[in-house]
Amino acid sequence: MTGNKVKDTVHMTHDIIHRNDGIPFDAGLLDGIRVNKSAVERRAATIGTRRSVKKEYQAAWLLKAISCIDLTTLSGDDTPGNVLRLCAKARNPIRMDLMEALDIQGMGLTTGAVCVYHNLIPYAVEALKGTNIPVAAVSTGFPAGQIALSEKLREIKMSVAAGAKEIDIVISRALVLKSDWKGLYDEIKACREACGEAHMKTILATGEIPTLTKVAKASMVAMMAGSDFIKTSTGKESVNATLPVTLVMVRMIRQYQELTGYKVGYKPAGGISKAKDALNYLIMMKEELGNDWLRPELFRFGASSLLGDIERQLEHFVTGRYSASYRHPMA
């Protein structure tokens, strides 16, 4: 017998992504799920210590992070005014002189999307006209999801009609807590149908799910039901995206891909505000899922202040001087 030194696949060229159509509910897929928290934490803790990107590599990776940001504002006091500013920032995420210094002017760098509440969709759509930047809207009674399913579906349809190309839904946490996986599947599937052509990101609100095993199961159910992305958090829970939770969710994405061939996207959200954190997430995606997940089609950050820190780091790379936030145009 002989050994084998041939690699199955080389993740250099990106495959075309077929949208996840979901699969019929299969409880058997959930039964085999095992998650060992301590082992997951150990792996997550070494993601950022086993890999490091420096200098021009770091600059390129940070630019990649920008291209994956869902630039977000989700506040009670959002107005057309601040949403317009946000959209302007999404179109021109970093200063022109930095672009020139990095020699990337022609790249058309923008953020991955702009993410707002339903009421602000028209203003964002208007402000992003002429770009490829999609408007994402949070939906289904965001952030708690404590409204009737019929209302959730109506809200999705309204947002799509208003021009949202991406819908970030929240799940009913009660279904997870009660382990009503079929109920969860049905709810998410209904949402997916309501989305139509709009891509759906399913927020699990992992900070309110008591165990990593349930996070894994909820991830799998969300993918079975046809989610285009699975997302950690609304940003409103007390615990938002973490690397251990991310590891659990991306491993489920890998398993789902092995089962079905569908590539499902991943979006950590909440609390990611430092360039270093962003790099760790990108490293985890590369390590666990491969380079396909290092692009906005399959990876997004839900973040509002992350961009500012990345701008400062890029200026440092260009000038060798530590930057100040006032030197960068605000959103």
Catalytic residues: 168, 231, 267
Of 41 and 193, which has the nearer Cβ to other proteins?
A: 41
Least distance from other proteins to the Cβ atom of residue 159, Å: 32
* Positive or negative: CA dihedral 237, 162, 304, 216: positive
Pattern of binders to other proteins over 210-229, x per CB under 8 A? xxxx----------------
Of 3, 81, 261, 320, the one binding other proteins (CB under 8 A) is: 3
Binding to other proteins (CB under 8 A): which residues in 159-188?
none
- Nearest CA to 298 among 253, 261, 248, 264? 264
Q: What is the 3-state secondary structure (H, E, C) of 234-282?
A: CCCCCCCCCHHHHHHHHHHHHHHHHHHCCCCEEECECCCCCHHHHHHHH
CA angle 7–9–14, rounded 5-degree value: 150
Of 107 and 161, which has the nearer Cβ to other proteins?
A: 107
Identify the DSSP state of 299.
Answer: B
Least distance from other proteins to the Cβ atom of residue 44, Å: 10
Of 135 and 220, which has the nearer Cβ to other proteins?
A: 220
Burial class (CB in 10 A: 0-12, 13-18, 19+), 208: middle
Residue 69's alpha-carbon distances to 26, 82, 277, in angstroms, are: 33, 18, 13
Least distance from other proteins to the Cβ atom of residue 1, Å: 5
- Cβ neighbours around 131 below 10 Å, total: 13
Binding to other proteins (CB under 8 A): which residues in 38-67?
38-43, 46, 49-57, 59-61, 63-64
Least distance from other proteins to the Cβ atom of residue 6, Å: 6
Structure tokens at 128: 């992003």
- Cβ neighbours around 273 below 10 Å, total: 15
Pattern of binders to other proteins over 127-166, x per CB under 8 A? ----------------------------------------
Least distance from other proteins to the Cβ atom of residue 43, Å: 4
Of 61 and 123, which has the nearer Cβ to other proteins?
A: 61
How far is Cα 115 from Cα 136, in angstroms, rounded to an integer? 5
Of 85 and 295, which has the nearer Cβ to other proteins?
A: 295
Of 21 and 103, which has the nearer Cβ to other proteins?
A: 103
Pattern of binders to other proteins over 257-296, x per CB under 8 A? -------------------------x---xx---x--x--
User: Residue 328, CB half-sphere, CA atoms under 13 Å: how many?
Assistant: 25
Question: What is the binding site for other proteins (CB under 8 A)?
Answer: 1, 3-8, 12, 34-43, 46, 49-57, 59-61, 63-64, 102-104, 107, 210-213, 251, 282, 286-287, 291, 294
